[in-house]
Structure 1
Amino acid sequence: MATIQDTQPHFSLVMSTKDRTVEVVRFLESLGRQSDRSFELIVSDQNNDDRLAPLLALFAKRFPLRVVHSTGGISRGRNAALPLARGKIIAFPDDDCWYPPHLLAAVRRLFEKHPAWDVVSGRSVDEAMHDTQGRWLDQVTVGDRSNVLRMGISYTIFARADVVTEAGPFDETLGVGAGTPWGSGEETDFLLRALAAGRKLIYTPELFVHHPEKVADYSRRARDRQFAYSRGLGRVLDKHRYTLAEAFSPLARPLAGAALFMARGQCDRSLCYLRVFFGRSLGFLGH
């Protein structure tokens, strides 16, 4: 499936998806409302059926959309789609996020105003504009090894195409569905490789992408998910040779949180933070 666009799109949006339909519809509808129309969407479909085919065919009439089929997790999915990307700016939306109407226009203005900026990232918020998936910085910040963990999450990252090429493909041992213990961290690994190549990373709270909060409870299932995510982050710290001193804050912070919530009698929440601590520690030790 493809639609024809004669001119180079300004944005290539690379989305890997599996087991979701309603959320994909919401994202596609948000693309249809973008004020900046110079984009293409490349969907890396990892479903075992054709559930998305009618839906994607419908939206392919509204904007340029291509589909590749892949297996083996979000990083493999993105790597399968990236060779098709023609845009000047590349982004990696989740299949359960959605864009505010003027997001792409705002990203374009920032890159045009600041030609030295190579990667721009922003906040993750819910419908009510509350932070999700972390506590985001409240001011414009230049990224480095000490703060990159708070500089963005995959679906809030926008990078110049040459940066994506230079940083190389996503590490397919990292991320959801990789089949390894490391259930996240692929975007942090990408940012660290971009920084190592001398590229400039900027975080600005001016940009935001909508995404639901995944840790809405502290059930065993949620704790297990956080454990896998945390091992991925620890693995990235180890991969990029963080010293214990450099890694101390991300390793120790969840342990402090576990102690705090235990003191408040919030045992389930304390256990969740404790699983995060053990997950990050195991990943940092290479496990």
Structure 2
Amino acid sequence: MKVSLVMSTLGRIDEVLQFIHALQQLDHNDFELIIVDQNADERLQMACSAVSVDFPIHYLRSPHAKGCSRGRNMGVAKASGEILCFPDDDCLYPPSLIRKVLGRFDETGSDIVCGRAAAPDGRSINGRFETSAQPVDLRNVFTTQIEWVVFFRREVFEKLEGFDEDIGVGASTPWQSCEGPDITIRAIHAGFKVYYDPELYAHHPELNTRDPDDAMRAKGRRYARGMGHVIRKHSYGILYLTNYLVRPIGGACLSLLKGNLKRGFYYLNVAMGRAEGYAGVCLDGGRFKKAFNLGSQK
């Protein structure tokens, strides 16, 4: 089966080039890369044009339409593969990933196949992931995927009408993450079969949550708002949310007791963000408060 990799990108050049070079090592040769460039200038386009590879690269400019989910949906219109995936612009795919993913589609008869984020040594990073292969359901949807290691049968993605463009990094709302769980929840409700396997993983820079700076703490809160919003959007209820509040609050208490104030406040930001997303409010105002009035739900 042909695989279309759709990458929405903003603000990165070297990382995109590294991803392109890594694709040369894939042990599956029927694929294409679609780059949706949301930069204001043409530096990325020029850099990509200078790269010589033996697979198709399609390039789309989108400087006035921002947001990762919007870019991904736009790129799908250019895709020709039966399988779709959406790599981050700073991730790397191991050589065997595509082959393994296609194997799971065949073995499980699934409509969507999910994996995890991993460090070079294989340990999970940037989230909490299940340790065994299993079907994805409404209970485990937040611990069985990360957007850039989720693979869709094209017809399924199109029936779901793509990602919700009000959710995800760069969206014009406060909900800056969890566009992946959102579309997967919609898929489960629609009766599609979703499968997760921890043997399917790709690499990404690891988020520094052990000694987080101000920017990392702010990012934690932004991403947490997206999760809280998706939990509310799909009517999970306060008891389900509580599970995702207790863990960061517990982490905050433990970190503060150990004297790691930075990490403690990071976890408090995560808990606050999830509560804000669920409540539909943003307590720090500013552009988030303004953006909240712009968003709509699919």
Shift of 1:191: 0.8
* Matches of 1:15 and 1:229, distance apart in 2: 20
The equivalent of 1:227 in structure 2 is: 221
Give distance in 1, aligned partners of 2:24 and 2:51: 8
Q: Distance in 2 between matches of 1:146 and 1:98?
A: 29
Which residue is equivalent to 1:37?
A: 29
Task: Give the corresponding residue for 2:102.
Answer: 108
Letter in 2 for 1:159: F
What are the ranges of 5 or more consecutive residues in structure 1 without an aligned counterpart?
Answer: 1-8
Would you say 1:158 and 2:151 are equivalent positions? yes
Q: For each residue in 1:2-28, what CA deviation from the matched residue of structure 2 results, as whole angstroms up to 9, or x when unmatched?
A: xxxxxxx61011100011111111111
RMSD of the TM alignment (CA)? 1.4
Kindly state the Cα deviation for residue 169 of structure 1 after the two structures are TM-superposed: 2.1
Measured after TM superposition, the shift of residue 67 of structure 1 is: 1.3
Pairing of 1:1-287 with structure 2 (within 5 A) = 10-59=2-51, 61-70=53-62, 71-115=65-109, 117-215=110-208, 217-287=211-281
> What CA distance in whole angstroms lies between the structure 1 residues aligned with 2:156 and 2:196?
16
Report the 3-state secondary structure (helix = DSSP H, G, I; strand = E; otherwise coil) of the residue aligned with 2:184.
Answer: helix
Q: Which one is further off, 78-87 or 208-217?
A: 208-217
Contact in 2 for aligned 1:125/1:212 (Cα 8 Å) = no
1:132-188 CA-partner distances (Å, limit 9, x unpaired): 111222101211111100111111101111110122121111111112211111111
Instruction: Tell me the residue number matched to 1:6.
Output: none
Structure 2: segments with no counterpart, 5+ residues: 282-298
Output the amino acid matched with 1:199: F
Cα distance in 2, alignment partners of residues 58 and 157 from structure 1: 29
Q: Deviations over 1:59-110 (max 9, x none)?
A: 4642111111222110111111111121111101000000111111111112
Contact 1:166 1:197 in 2 (8 A): no
Alignment partner of 1:52: what SS? helix
The aligned length equals 278
Counterpart of 1:222, as a letter, is M
Evaluate the alpha carbon distance shift between residue 60 and residue 239 of structure 1 in structure 2; reply closer, same or farther with a 3 A threshold. Answer: farther
Aligned to 2:291: none
Q: What is the one-letter code of the residue matched to 2:69?
A: S
Partner Cα separation in structure 2 for residue 40 and residue 143 of structure 1: 27
User: Is 2:114–2:200's contact at 8 Å kept on the other side of the alignment?
Assistant: yes
Q: Is the 8 A contact 1:166 1:194 kept in 2?
A: no
Is the contact between residue 124 and residue 208 of structure 1 (CA under 8 Å) also seen in structure 2?
A: yes
Moved over 4 A (4+): none
1:283 Cα shift?
0.2
Q: Summarize deviations over 1:241-274 as a string: whole Å, max 9, x none.
A: 1111222211221111111111222111010000
1:34 counterpart SS class: coil
Q: Is the 8 A contact 2:24 2:53 kept in 1?
A: no
Alpha-carbon distance between aligned partners in 2 of 1:232 and 1:123, rounded to the nearest angstrom: 19
Q: Distance in 2 between matches of 1:220 and 1:242?
A: 31
Counterparts of 2:262 and 2:219 in 1: how far apart (Å)?
14
Give the Cα–Cα distance (whole angstroms) in 2 for the partners of residues 87 and 59 of structure 1. 22
Whether the aligned pair in 2 keeps the contact of 1:16 and 1:78 (CA below 8 Å) is yes
Other-structure match for 1:3: none
Q: How much has 1:45 moved relative to structure 2?
A: 0.4
Determine what percentage of the aligned residue pairs are the same residue.
Answer: 39
Check whether the contact 2:45–2:59 (CA below 8 A) recurs between aligned residues: no
Q: Secondary structure at the match of 2:152?
A: strand
